[in-house]
Amino acid sequence: MEEVQQMVDEVIQAIISGVKEVINLGGTKVVIPGNFAIGCMPIYLSAFETNDPNMYDELQCLKGLNGFATYQNVRLQEAIKDLQTQYPIVAIVYADYFNALKGLLQNVASNGFAKGEVQKTCCGIGDNKYNFNMTRMCGNNGVPVCHDPSKLVSWDGVHMTQHAYRVMAKGLFKQIVQGISNQV
């Protein structure tokens, strides 16, 4: 994890460089998304599955991977604050994908998802509780698709279902509009 954390500054710098390019091309409102709660995604849950219950949080997500995502998001938000200082007439807003996904997972039943299968993939095959196999991913011959994708959060272990993205987008839209309004 320490080795990966060392690359965070390079990733943040690439993001900031891209944002500066957008601003220099005339962008006046920029939304910068943070990292998802990757410890909740079937691809990582499957790859790093363990019998140690201390490795998981209350949502059955991997604490270490979410800790890494949080670290990156904090560093990104610090960089965004610096950008906001450099470009005071540009609305630069952070989109909190991490907490949007966590909120979705905390409220699965009220959002229409199948309780108890929230971290299972819709399009996948596997001998684990995530219905995910790295060597037989969605799109490969013989890999089935669930009957009702709107009941699951994960489409293929990496991407979410359309319904999950819609639920997240509703919350993020409010956050983004409020952030832009506060800066303009």
Which range of residues forms the domain containing residue 122? 107-165
Q: What is the pLDDT of residues 85-129, one digit of tens each?
A: 999 999 999 999 999 999 999 999 899 998 888 889 999 998 889
SS3 letters for the chain?
A: CHHHHCCHHHHHHHHHHHHHHHHHCCCCEEEEECCCCHHHCHHHHHHCCCCCHHHECCCCCEHHHHHHHHHHHHHHHHHHHHHHHHCCCCEEEEECHHHHHHHHHHCCHHHCCCCCCCCCECECCCCCCCCCCCCCCCCCCCCCECCCHHHCCECCCCCECHHHHHHHHHHHHHHHHHHHHHHC
Task: Specify whether 10 is located in the same domain as 87.
Answer: yes
Task: Specify whether 60 is located in the same domain as 143.
Answer: no
Task: Specify whether 49 is located in the same domain as 93.
Answer: yes
Task: Specify whether 37 is located in the same domain as 90.
Answer: yes
Residue 113: how many CB atoms within 10 A of its CB? 21
Instruction: Give a yes or no: residue 3 inside a domain.
Output: yes
Task: Specify whether 68 is located in the same domain as 129.
Answer: no
Q: Give the dihedral sign, CA 7/10/16/21.
A: negative
Task: Specify whether 53 is located in the same domain as 74.
Answer: yes
Q: What is the pLDDT of residues 116-166, one digit of tens each?
A: 888 899 999 988 899 999 999 999 999 999 999 999 999 999 999 999 999
Number of domains making up the chain: 2
Instruction: Give a yes or no: residue 177 inside a domain.
Output: no
Task: Specify whether 78 is located in the same domain as 157.
Answer: no
**pLDDT at residue 110, rounded to an integer:** 92
pLDDT > 70? residue 184 = no
Task: Specify whether 150 is located in the same domain as 119.
Answer: yes
**pLDDT at residue 181, rounded to an integer:** 76
